[in-house]
Amino acid sequence: MPEFQRAVLDSLRQPLETGKVDVARANAHVAYPARVQLVAAMNPCRCGHLGDPALACSRAPKCAVDYQSKVSGPMLDRIDLHVEVDPVSAADLALPPPAEGSAEVAARVAAARAVQVERGVRSNAELEGEALENYARPDEAGRTLLMQAAEKMRLSARAYTRMLRVARTIADLAGAREVGRIHVAEALSYRRQAPRA
């Protein structure tokens, strides 16, 4: 992501929020549907070796802050899942495959999507207002954790709402009727905080 100009990235903010692209010209104003699943990646710094003393550049950690700050906070706010991935070593490639295979994961996803369709939406990303309150309200322990995290992580109202939707989806994948503390905790673990320094 940081390889794109910041203005280009920020131009995606409104379409990601509204699910449409508005094009205005002298004689016409047209809105096109733009419901997308944005998948993006970025290195921790320009060279990609932050944290590796043998390979990191001499500007670390400032280079990481400079590089990561090219993606604005409001843009990051519109991305639901932020997952930091450690480098893969040759030894990692020799590990046995995970216990749960692709077919099992696909079945869980299909079941979760079916539950979401029963709610009258294509996915939990579309839950808003009363529907969000009805389906994604966490139990008391989950709500307490979310409120504490919202204060500590300084979550915006947008990020708070997105955390509720992600927690609801995690609960759906687990086959849970209620959103519990464990689902909220996992949703919060996918939220990016300050750049690594």
Q: What is the model's pLDDT at position 193?
A: 60
**Average pLDDT for 28-37:** 91
- Identify the pLDDT of residue 85: 85
CA 183 from chain centre, in angstroms, equals: 15
Angle between helices 181-189 and 157-173 (to 10 degrees): 120
Reply yes or no on whether the pLDDT at 60 is more than 80: no
Contacts of 14 (CB under 8 A, 6+ apart): 22
Mean pLDDT for the stretch of residues 70-80: 91
pLDDT digits (tens, 9 = 90+) for 103-151: 999 999 999 999 999 999 999 999 999 999 999 999 999 999 999 999 9
Cβ atoms of residues 48 and 87 within 8 Å:
no
Comparison of pLDDT for 99 and 172, the residue scoring more: 172
Q: How many CA atoms lie within 13 A of 167 on its CB side?
A: 29
Q: Residue 141: what pLDDT?
A: 97
- The better pLDDT of the pair 36, 196 is held by 36
What is the structure's pLDDT at 194?
A: 44
Higher per-residue pLDDT: 182 or 97: 182
Residue 30: DSSP 8-state: E
pLDDT of 151: 93
Q: Specify the pLDDT at position 196.
A: 39
Torsion angle of C-alpha atoms 71, 186, 127, 141, degrees rounded to 10: -130
Length of the chain equals 197
pTM of the model: 0.83
